[in-house]
Structure 1
Amino acid sequence: MEELKEGWRRVKLGEIADIGSSKRIFMADYRESGVPFFRGKEIIQKSKGNNITTELYITEEKYNEIKNKFEVPQKGDILLTSVGTIGVPYLVNNNEPFYFKDGNVTWIKKYRDGVYNKYIYQWIKSPLGQNQINQVTIGSTQKALTIDALKKLEINLPPLETQEKIASILSALDDKIELNNEMNKTLEEMAQTLFKRWFIDFDFPNENGEPYRSSGGKMVDSELGEIPEGWKIGILEEIVDNFDAKRKPLSKKERDTKEKKYPYYGAAGIIDYVDNYLFNGEYILLGEDGTVITNEGTPILNFINEKFWVSNHAHVIKAKEKFNNDFVHYLLRNTNVSHIVTGAVQPKINQKNLNGLKILIPKIKEISEFGILVSNFTKMLRNNNSEINSLTQIKDTLLPKLMSGEIEV
């Protein structure tokens, strides 16, 4: 048992807040409009700050009935995913009406005197809190976090003023990371809009600077529909090289022994940091197995330019010399690949299917001009991502020291 600083307490989560769930809502109560009704997936989206497309609602009358007889979520409450994807917290940030599914989501509310909700929220998000949550999660096929188990989790609780200072430091880092993420969304939307205009609507500038298709540019038939004259249908391996043979997976046990210096990528993104690297430069990573496609059927991609290590769960590709990675990246972001995914239990995009993916190949002129235009977007995106990674590492280093009292605030 660690020795705590003077004024600090080791407490159970259930001692410092009420922990429970919602009143049961039955399928017969679901509506197509009304007050939003959230499940785990919507809570995850809310926790990321994403806009969500609510699929379920309940009537205002039902919501008001629950509000009057019982309670509804209030600003400052914490909702925690508790089935399937475990331990994702959402700090309710306004009093807009909504309700949520019992069992899928756990509700933390009514904090005791001397308890700061944002400190509890930061602890739950932290590796400290997530590690405890993982230890008490039950089930192998369908994982679950019970209310009783959550109540027994132990947390270091400093005096209220210290809680507020710690939460403020960690929230400031979160805010900067979120700001960079928002900037990245805008940059990606701008590049995406340009790609669609040029390579989907075919309104790239013609020799007179006019939009090609809208100005009567000649179109020809192809197996993927009408395309501009001089363009062709090909396969992905005509425009990219594959570097999968250089990948080398490392077990978690191996990674835990290494200095956290260079990012270690899995199928969907960075999963750890290690002390060495396999690649140095600009590459596109595409999920190979596990998480391989988005809800829209496009591949999971990471477009990076740094020193990094990668497991065997992501393909490593790069544009051939006369093409460019910006074009390849946005081409893949706009290509449905669900038809090349194999495996029912473990989805997979194998190298043969990836290489043979049918794609539209424009003239080199249009590809090069597009690459020049979006290169500044890409540079700003990378700078933002580099700062996000640095801030995340700073936070991960600071957090256990702050929450143990090792660092004075």
Structure 2
Amino acid sequence: MNSFTTRKIGTLGRVVTGKTPSTANDDYFGGPYPFITIPDLDGRVVIDSSARTLSQTGAGAIKSSLLPAGSVMMSCIATVGKCGITARTSFTNQQINSVIPNEDVDAQFLYYAFREIGHVLERSGGGGSVYTNVSKSRFSDIELLVPPLPEQRAIAATLGALDDKIELNRKMNATLEAMARALFRDWFVDFGPTRAKMEARAPYLSPDLWSLFPNRLDAEGKPEGWEVRSVYDFANVVYGAPFASKQFNTDSAGIPLIRIRDLATHEPGVWTEEVHPKGHLIEPGDIVVGMDGEFRLHVWKGAPAWLNQRVCHFEPRPGVPTAFLAEALIEPLAFFERGKVGTTVIHLGKGDIDTFRLLHPGTELLSAFGEIARSLIDATVKNATESRTLAQTRDLLLPRLMSGELRVADINSEEAEHA
């Protein structure tokens, strides 16, 4: 702890508050420069892509807020404490303050320091606190404990190793999910094997699989013998219960609760000790869908949790693989959402789900697809579970390392003793 000094953020580098170029000028957008907003600060340490980008013209319009690679960002308006490091020349909007670090400051160390103070600011942001919005001057005056550069790098390397594995798992999951989606699309959307048979092309699947596909399409354009059936031939739909919000807590007391806002992160934000008579427990690998706003389907990868109201679970019927049902539901949900464009608030109800129709290829093909895809989906759940454990370890180490209570040398010594 003796080597740590107290320094204001403004002394650690140049502080930059982002800007937004005029949205009335289409020429400013779409180009090589990431334009980072709060949703892009999604848990990645290094932000190498963003939903929106700027053109050369747009970058020139706000050149004073240019951030080189290695700049450290933190959201400071409305949502406080989301952080990231720029991967290349980038820009942010005005809700984000950034630091271009001095030579004696390690960017990754500063990222973790921002994460720790972000938690503090976020907690103090409730109840009308001034920290709900952190201005550039207030941000610059925040004090941090900063060790010498070698210790900064050691801390960053220790925490970074955990985040590197989490990011690797995220990329692996994206690849595995893309593989399952590509297989589903070829078999059940594009009808690749059937079309190949019609065109007398060589088989590209094993003989036992190839024989399961029809030889031609019917008058409706689907493989002969395949049927369009009600969604209820594929799944039971279970709706979440109206748990009392007054009994919610953030102290991990009871069982976590899945709300719509938790679906994207697979991390429940509240717990409850209430045992609702209509409570339904979701397990890792279950299909869950939010029923308000955007109807994105998620294969739940978080811990077991109660299902809150306005979230539903599509529970596969016997013989229907989870991976098949998850892929098959994407288009009906998207079709319903497209039909609601222009509505102020869009809701998905039971009456809407009643209209869903899915293509049934027969039990043998369902089983064959399930055999292949099950291992892919199971691996994504396993990777997500490992990442959750790694994140918990990181979050336990973070405040202790940043305060100097725990030194990297102590961790290494403990690991050596248990080797």
The normalised TM-score by structure 2 is: 0.75
Letter in 2 for 1:17: G
Distance 2:48 2:65 in 1: 26
Q: Could you tell me how far 1:389 is from its partner in structure 2? A: 1.1
* Structure 2: runs of 5 or more not aligned: 198-206, 274-279, 409-419
Distance 1:114 1:14 in 2: 13
Q: Is the 8 A contact 1:280 1:308 kept in 2?
A: yes
Q: In 2 relative to 1, CA 204–309 (structure 1 residues): closer, same or farther, beyond 3 Å?
A: farther
Distance 1:24 1:233 in 2: 48
Distance 1:401 1:227 in 2: 60
Q: Could you tell me how far 1:339 is from its partner in structure 2? A: 4.6
Q: 2:249 is paired with a residue of what secondary structure? A: helix
Aligned to 2:100: 109
Distance 1:76 1:139 in 2: 33
Letter in 2 for 1:130: H
Task: Pick one of 150, 159, 167 that aligns with 1:170.
Answer: 159
Letter in 1 for 2:112: Q
Q: 1:403 is paired with a residue of what secondary structure? A: helix
Q: Does 1:13 align with 2:21?
A: no
Q: Is the 8 A contact 2:8 2:142 kept in 1?
A: yes
Deviates more, 1:227-236 or 1:31-40: 31-40
Q: Could you tell me how far 1:258 is from its partner in structure 2? A: 1.9
Distance 1:371 1:230 in 2: 20
Aligned to 1:233: 228
Aligned to 1:79: 73
Q: How big is the alpha-carbon RMSD for the aligned residues of Structure 1 and Structure 2?
A: 3.9
Share of identical aligned residues, percent?
A: 22
- Spell out the pairing of 1:298-317 with structure 2 (5 A cutoff): 299-304=296-301, 307-317=304-314
**Where is the helix percentage greater, Structure 1 or Structure 2?**
2
Distance 1:363 1:249 in 2: 43
Distance 1:145 1:220 in 2: 63
Q: Over residues 286-322 of structure 1, what are the superposed CA-to-partner deviations in whole Å (9 max), with x where a residue is unaligned?
A: 12235x33xxxxx231245963333334212210113
Q: Could you tell me how far 1:198 is from its partner in structure 2? A: 0.8
Letter in 1 for 2:167: E
Q: Could you tell me how far 1:327 is from its partner in structure 2? A: 0.9
Q: Could you tell me how far 1:20 is from its partner in structure 2? A: 2.3
* Structure 1: runs of 5 or more not aligned: 294-298
Distance 1:227 1:258 in 2: 51
The normalised TM-score by structure 1 is: 0.77
- Spell out the pairing of 1:7-406 with structure 2 (5 A cutoff): 7-21=3-17, 25-26=21-22, 28=25, 30-31=27-28, 35-36=32-33, 38-40=35-37, 43-44=40-41, 49=47, 51-52=49-50, 54-59=52-57, 63=60, 72-82=66-76, 86-94=80-88, 97-98=89-90, 100=91, 103-111=94-102, 114-126=104-116, 128-133=117-122, 135=124, 145-204=134-193, 209-210=209-210, 217-221=216-220, 226-244=221-239, 248=243, 253-256=248-251, 258=253, 264-267=257-260, 268=263, 269-272=266-269, 278-280=281-283, 282-289=285-292, 292-293=294-295, 299-304=296-301, 307-335=304-332, 336=334, 337-339=336-338, 346-406=345-405
Aligned to 1:296: none
Q: Over residues 328-367 of structure 1, what are the superposed CA-to-partner deviations in whole Å (9 max), with x where a residue is unaligned?
A: 1111234414157699565432333234323333322222
Q: 2:192 is paired with a residue of what secondary structure? A: coil
Q: In 2 relative to 1, CA 180–332 (structure 1 residues): closer, same or farther, beyond 3 Å?
A: same
